[in-house]
């Protein structure tokens, strides 16, 4: 007998018991055996610890959605035998699979594929894992005419190749997967799109089907309801409807034009950001949008980021529209020698950058080619590192909360301890940096996910992901060390001993690109911004022409109080004016009729709520002013 510890209890089993038998009744869709993620069908031969992997965990959802992609591919191959399968991973919002077909799939095809998937679910088709020799795997997929799988195998270094069999379907995959198709009770195909093989426009265009799957129909319905709500909140639709911004083919893709109302919100965001940063001891600078290519050669961007840069010939020389703000901030720091007494130096900027993005990846204001980022770079001594990180993370949380975000997920990305040779910087720098990041997260009592091997080659980092009103994650704030640029530009300070010492360089953003953050705000609030951020805080509505003069007096009083107000004196019915103000999501509607004008009152309505009744103007003014205070 062997002792298998599960959920804190050691139980005896015969050797060869499967992980699924050990976890029977737990709802597991996969297992961890001594920390290793495996299929439930894996036999257990010796003492070990077995823990369930559930659907509501990140890795559980990944296993489930990946299994659903195989289910979809099986259905496609049964309905369209000539289709060649490419890749089918899980993604944050479900899964997709790419197919090479003579005729691209249409939305109408999805219904038939989804129907076949549900038939396969009812058949409880077993999902079996096999390890093949390289020659066996090549022969298997060659016989099936799966050219893309053959190419993938050629790129694998392994001598043993992992495949999964699911009835008449076989796929190249490391797994793990669910034990049989009946687990995937509620699949749903969402849409179809084109995608180049390997994402390269020079390769063949494939037909990509996106989908989502859940263990039961109730979870699927809740998800589909969220998708519908997301469509209603889509920042591209609301950006047009609320007259906030526009994108123009004539000007080029991925460039945002801010309309007066959108520019007002942008200005409010930037003013708040600047106030908080000045209070936190930052010096604000401005750097050029363009710089000679020699700067980008020195920074390393030209060699490693060239395909994303816009290079411009000028007077027989080469300039670059800046893709990053970092080198410019370092040049400012290096204009004079800094003593240890001068540090920390905190340089911040709303820096506009330009990066080439493929046209197929552009998405409203969320993914653009020109954007303005709230960049800052901190130069400090080793002794100051922890407090500087603490200040960065504290400021990030304070500002994100001011914009209405209260829930966060935090990732701590550190180097792979088994392959430290892949990273720049010495052990002392990395250990100090990682130790400081951990201590800050513990001081702030922030739960975090430690991601070993996910640090960039030039330093460890903290990423803060906010959760919006629809529980979607958005990466905004980041705080990362940069041993690369610090070394390339010889960033140093004069120590107490009179010698040069390398300064620690910390790169950070709080909101990220303002275009993207604006899009997140629009969708988080559904366009109904809080009063302090609303481009128009109040609109005065007249019932008849006789109240026009009074409405103008009310508007003047509000403007004198530094409020943003509009007057609607059009000769339309008051019901139409109210509907229009509601559609534009204006926080306050002040209705001026004959009685209100005679008594110096206004009838007040709040967006999305009931009539608040008749009030003296000064009373409603005080209420709006209180809601208009910028968070502190």
Instruction: Determine the Cα–Cα distance for residues 451 and 454; give it in Å rounded to an integer.
Output: 6
- CA-to-CA dists, residue 510 to 239, 473, 507, 524, angstroms: 23, 15, 11, 17
Please determine, for residue 384, whether its predicted confidence score (pLDDT) is greater than 80. yes
Q: Which fold has domain 245-287+325-525?
A: BirA Bifunctional Protein; domain 2 (3.30.930)
Contacts of 416 by beta carbon, 8 Å cutoff, 6+ apart: 422, 452, 453
Query: Is 326 annotated for ligand binding?
Result: yes
**What is the number of alpha carbons within 13 Å of residue 626 lying toward its C-beta?**
6
The half-sphere exposure of 358 on its side-chain side, counting CA atoms within 13 A, is 8
CA distance linking residue 124 with residue 76, whole number of Å: 17
Whether 173 has a binding-site annotation, put simply, is no
- Residue 345: asked if its preceding bond is cis (omega within 30°), the reply is no
Secondary structure element (H or E) that encloses residue 412, with its range: strand 407-414
Distance from C-alpha of 256 to C-alpha of 247, rounded to nearest angstrom: 5
DSSP 3-state of 165: strand
DSSP designation for 249: T
Q: What is the CATH number of domain 538-628?
A: 3.40.50.800
| Listed range (2-16, 173-187, 612-626) with the worst mean pLDDT | 2-16
Which tokens sit at 452?
A: 């070993």
Average pLDDT of the residues of the chain: 94
| Range 2-53 has CATH code 3.10.20.30 | yes
pLDDT, tens digit, for every residue of 32-88? 999 999 999 999 999 999 999 999 998 999 999 999 999 999 999 999 999 999 999
What are the residue boundaries of the structural domains of the chain, listed by start? 2-53, 58-222, 245-287+325-525, 538-628
Nearest one of 190, 195, 181 to 99, comparing CA atoms: 195
Confidence of residue 326 (pLDDT cuts 50, 70, 90): very high
Express each pLDDT in 401-425 by its tens digit. 999 999 999 999 998 888 888 888 8
User: Residue 492 has which token pair?
Assistant: 């140093």
Residue 377, marked binder: yes
**Alpha helices per DSSP H over 155-259:** 217-233, 235-241
Residue 60, pLDDT score: 95
Distance CA 243, CA 89 (A): 38
Tens digits of per-residue pLDDT, 433-445? 899 999 999 999 9
Closest CA to 141 of 163, 167, 157: 163
Among 488, 578, 475, 486, smallest CA distance to 517 is for 475
Secondary structure in 3-state letters for 461-498: EEEEEEECCCCCEEEEEEEEECHHHHHHCCCEEECCCC
CATH topology for the 58-222 domain? 3.30.980
**Which has more confidence, 360 or 196?**
196
* 49 bridge partner residues: 5
pLDDT at 512 over 80: yes
Looking at residues 493-509, what average pLDDT do you find?
Answer: 95
The phi, psi pair for 375, rounded to 5°, reads -85, 150
Q: In which band, very low, low, confident or very high, does the pLDDT at 496 lie, cut at 50, 70 and 90? A: very high
Q: What is the pTM of this model?
A: 0.86
The residues carrying an active-site annotation are: 326, 355, 373, 375, 377, 461, 507
**Residues 111-160: pLDDT tens digits?**
999 999 999 999 999 999 999 999 999 999 999 999 999 999 999 988 89
Q: How much of the chain, in percent, has pLDDT values that exceed 90?
A: 86
58-222 shares its CATH topology with 538-628: no
Place of tokens 């999805």: 110
Roughly how many angstroms between the first and final C-alpha of the chain, as a whole number?
64
């Amino acid at each position: 007998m062997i002792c298998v510890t599960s959920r804190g209890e050691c139980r005896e089993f015969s050797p060869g018991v499967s992980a699924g038998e050990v976890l029977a009744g737990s709802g597991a869709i996969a297992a961890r055996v001594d920390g290793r993620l495996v299929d439930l069908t894996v036999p257990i031969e010796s003492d070990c610890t077995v823990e369930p992997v559930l659907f509501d965990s990140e890795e559980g959802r990944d296993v489930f959605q990946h299994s659903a992609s195989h289910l979809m591919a099986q259905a496609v191959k049964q309905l369209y035998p000539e289709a060649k399968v490419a890749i089918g991973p899980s993604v944050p919002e479900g899964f997709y699979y790419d197919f090479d077909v003579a005729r691209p799939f249409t939305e109408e095809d999805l219904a038939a594929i989804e129907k076949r998937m549900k038939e396969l679910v009812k058949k409880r088709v077993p999902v079996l894992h096999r390890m093949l020799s390289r020659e066996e795997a090549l022969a298997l997929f060659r016989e099936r005419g799966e050219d893309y799988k053959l190419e993938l195998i050629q790129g694998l270094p392994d001598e043993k190749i992992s495949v999964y069999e699911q009835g008449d379907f076989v796929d190249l995959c490391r797994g793990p997967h669910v034990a049989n198709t009946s687990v995937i009770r509620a699949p749903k195909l969402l849409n179809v799109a084109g995608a180049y093989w390997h994402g390269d426009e020079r390769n063949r265009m494939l037909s990509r089907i996106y989908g989502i799957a859940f263990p039961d129909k109730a979870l699927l319905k809740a998800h589909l309801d969220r998708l519908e709500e997301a469509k209603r909140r889509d920042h591209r639709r609301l950006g047009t409807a609320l007259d906030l911004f526009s994108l123009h083919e004539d000007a080029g893709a991925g460039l945002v034009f801010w309309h007066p109302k959108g520019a007002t919100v942008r200005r409010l965001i930037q003013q708040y950001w600047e106030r908080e940063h000045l209070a936190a001891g930052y010096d604000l600078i401005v750097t050029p949008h363009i710089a000679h290519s020699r700067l980008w050669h020195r920074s390393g961007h030209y060699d490693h980021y060239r395909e994303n840069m816009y290079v411009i010939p000028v007077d027989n020389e080469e300039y670059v529209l800046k893709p990053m703000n970092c080198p410019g901030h370092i040049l400012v720091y290096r204009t004079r020698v800094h003593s240890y007494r001068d540090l920390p130096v905190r340089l911040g900027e709303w820096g506009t950058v330009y990066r080439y993005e493929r046209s197929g990846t552009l998405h409203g204001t969320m993914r653009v080619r020109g954007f303005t980022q709230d960049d800052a770079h901190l130069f400090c001594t080793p002794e100051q590192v922890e407090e500087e990180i603490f200040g960065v993370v504290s400021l990030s949380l304070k500002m994100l909360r001011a914009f209405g975000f209260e829930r966060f997920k935090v990732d701590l990305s550190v180097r792979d301890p088994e392959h430290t040779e892949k990273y720049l910087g010495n052990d002392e720098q990395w250990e100090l940096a990682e130790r400081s990041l951990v201590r800050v997260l513990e001081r702030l009592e922030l739960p975090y996910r430690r991601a070993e091997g996910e640090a960039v080659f030039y330093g460890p980092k903290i990423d803060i992901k906010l959760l919006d009103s629809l529980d979607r994650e958005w990466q905004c704030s980041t705080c990362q060390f940069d041993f690369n640029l610090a070394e390339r530009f010889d960033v140093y300070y004069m120590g107490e001993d009179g010698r040069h010492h390398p300064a620690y360089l910390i790169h950070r953003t709080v909101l990220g690109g303002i275009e993207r953050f604006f899009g997140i705000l629009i969708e988080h609030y559904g366009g109904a911004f809080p009063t302090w951020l609303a481009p128009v805080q109040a609109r005065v509505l007249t019932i008849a022409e006789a109240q026009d003069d009074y409405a103008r007096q009310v508007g003047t009083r509000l403007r004198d109080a530094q409020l943003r107000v509009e007057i609607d004196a059009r000769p339309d019915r008051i019901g139409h004016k109210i509907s229009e103000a509601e559609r534009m999501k204006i926080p306050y509607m002040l209705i001026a009729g004959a009685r209100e004008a005679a008594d110096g009152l206004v009838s007040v309505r709040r967006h999305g709520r009931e009539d608040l009744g008749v009030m003296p103007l000064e009373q409603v003014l005080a209420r709006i002013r209180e809601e208009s205070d910028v968070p502190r």
